[in-house]
């Protein structure tokens, strides 16, 4: 989508369906605190002369813990990167060498890969990569819901 010359990222979500455990993608809709859904697509059935539109939609109920937002970025292989994905970030010299496996998270309005706090000389600091800076050397290798052992190096 473009807005006065600026490209805006696509806003969409994914989650695992309650009924069959498969991933579904689309808009996130919270009906109640215990009823979380993805609206994968809306079908326009009929447009009348008076601009009345008939639509059909099917909500797909998801497990809330699997909900993840699309970052608007794709990894080095063209795979969409979502919150909750596990990425392998590898960079070779002459640049600063990096070889890490981290989870993609959203914090304070920013997508990170490997966000964590660390203490250096008794000063608390955040550590990790802003996803925007490393997406082109990142590779999605799984997600925390299906492959949590990847974060432990197993």
How confident is the model at residue 94, as a pLDDT? 77
**CATH number of the domain bearing residue 100:** 2.30.30.290
- What percent of the chain has a predicted confidence (pLDDT) above 90? 46
H helix intervals, the chain: 131-134
Residue 40 and residue 103 in one domain: no
Our CA angle for 142, 147, 149, nearest 5°, is 120
What does the alpha-carbon distance between residue 130 and residue 133 come to, in Å, rounded to a whole number? Answer: 6
Residue 28 and residue 75 in one domain: no
Q: Kindly report, residue by residue over 36-75, the tens digit of the pLDDT.
A: 988 887 666 666 666 666 667 788 999 999 999 999 999 9
How confident is the model at residue 18, as a pLDDT? 95
- Determine the structural domain holding residue 22 and report its residue range: 1-66
Other beta carbons within 10 angstroms of residue 148's beta carbon come to 13
How confident is the model at residue 1, as a pLDDT? 46
What does the alpha-carbon distance between residue 40 and residue 38 come to, in Å, rounded to a whole number? Answer: 6
Which residue would you say has higher pLDDT here, 117 or 8? 8
Count: domains in the chain: 2
Residue 147 and residue 75 in one domain: yes
- What percent of the chain has a predicted confidence (pLDDT) above 70? 76
Residue 49 and residue 81 in one domain: no
Beta-carbon-side half-sphere exposure of residue 15 (alpha carbons within 13 Å): 25
Q: Does residue 77 contact residue 49 with C-beta atoms inside 8 Å?
A: no
Which residue would you say has higher pLDDT here, 122 or 133? 133
Return the H-helix or E-strand segment holding 133: helix 131-134
The domain boundary, picked from 18, 51, 66, lies at: 66
Q: Kindly report, residue by residue over 74-108, the tens digit of the pLDDT.
A: 999 999 999 999 999 988 777 778 888 999 999 88
Asked whether the bond before 4 is cis by omega within 30 degrees of 0, the reply is no
Q: What are phi and psi of 141, to 5 degrees?
A: -115, 0
């Amino acid at each position: 989508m473009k807005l006065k010359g600026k490209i805006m990222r696509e806003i969409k979500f994914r989650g695992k369906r309650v009924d069959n455990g498969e991933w579904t993608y689309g808009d996130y809709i919270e009906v109640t605190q215990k009823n979380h859904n993805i609206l994968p697509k809306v079908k326009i059935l009929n447009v009348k002369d008076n601009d009345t539109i008939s639509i059909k939609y099917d909500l797909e109920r998801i497990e809330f813990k699997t909900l993840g937002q699309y970052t608007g970025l794709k990894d080095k292989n063209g795979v969409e990167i979502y919150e909750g994905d596990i990425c392998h970030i590898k960079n070779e010299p002459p640049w600063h060498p990096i070889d890490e496996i981290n989870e993609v998270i959203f914090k304070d309005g920013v997508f990170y890969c490997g966000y964590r706090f660390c203490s250096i000389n008794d000063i608390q600091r955040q550590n990790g990569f802003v996803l925007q800076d490393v997406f082109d050397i990142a590779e999605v290798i799984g997600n925390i819901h299906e492959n949590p052992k990847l974060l432990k190096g197993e």
